[in-house]
Structure 1
Amino acid sequence: MSQDSEPSVCNIFKDNSSKIINKLEMQIPSHFQIYSDMYKEYLHMLDDVFGTCIISEKEFFDKINADENSMKHIKSFSDSMTDFWIKQIENYDNYLKWYYQMRISGMKSYDQFVHIMMNSYSKTLSNFTKSLED
């Protein structure tokens, strides 16, 4: 509690909620790092699965002697699917950016609303207190 303020229920709740919020804010960098590291490991694992698959299936594909035209079609299909997924990743990234902006805007609007309501509430309490004094 700040020394220049009088002890009150509001000050106690404000100070304690600030302690909790500060503790959560301090953990944000480590939480992001943890999730980032897990996600990167997941992606590397998927990449390794395909690498292992290539090694395992190379002998099989070498024996079937796929002609060059078939390989061009397979490559074209694979390239199309890759382009599709890259677009999906970009779309999702754009969606997350939009979603972030929308949520931040909503939180700021709500914060303004709460301030207006608290000012109104304070005025009502003040008027009520004055009426009790009369």
Structure 2
Amino acid sequence: MVDEISVQKNNEDHISICDIMKGNTSEIIRKHESQIPLMLENYSNLYSEFLRIFDSIYGTCYINEKEFFDKLNIDQKLLKQLKDNSEYIKNQYLENIVIGTQFFDEQIKMRISAMHSFENFVRILMDSYSKSL
């Protein structure tokens, strides 16, 4: 009975490096993961505010256009060219958003694949090490 208690006490006193690293690593990753919804919400709020501000600014622009730009009598051909150039730049920007999103998606897939490769490597390494003991 005393030996049983002693063995149990030794097991309780034994600290595993794997338990320490696993516990701490898991806690850090879970904390990061728990913050993702808040980060996404904040970015969404940020871009919503950008949109609101620019809508407000351009709303004011219409008033100023009537009071100022119409008096300048700007040639409609010039305005048409400005519109075409603006459309081209907008389309390039929209395409870059899609390309950036696809790049990020592929980067995440590559990281996950690298993590799986690392996991397999460590498992093989540990298996080989345990067999050599």
Would you say same fold, with TM above 0.5? yes
> Which of 61, 64, 68 is equivalent to 1:60?
68
Which structure has more relative contact order (CA 8 Å, sep 6+)? It is 1
Number of the residue aligned with 2:9? none
How many angstroms does 1:23 deviate by? 1.8
Structure 2 residue aligned with 1:26: 34
1:117 and 1:30, CA in 2 relative to 1: closer, same or farther beyond 3 A?
Answer: same
Question: Are 1:79 and 2:83 an aligned pair?
Answer: yes
For residue 61 of structure 1, what is the amino acid of its counterpart?
F
Give the alignment's TM-score, normalised by structure 2: 0.73
**Bigger shift: residues 19-28 or 39-48:** 39-48
* Aligned counterpart in structure 2 of residue 16 of structure 1, from 24, 27, 30: 24
Q: How many residues align?
A: 120
| Gaps in structure 1 of 5+ consecutive residues | 1-5
1:21-75 Cα deviation digits (max 9, x unpaired): 11221111111111111122123222322332332342223434x27xx22x144
Unaligned runs of 5+ in 2: 1-13
Distance 2:63 2:71 in 1: 14
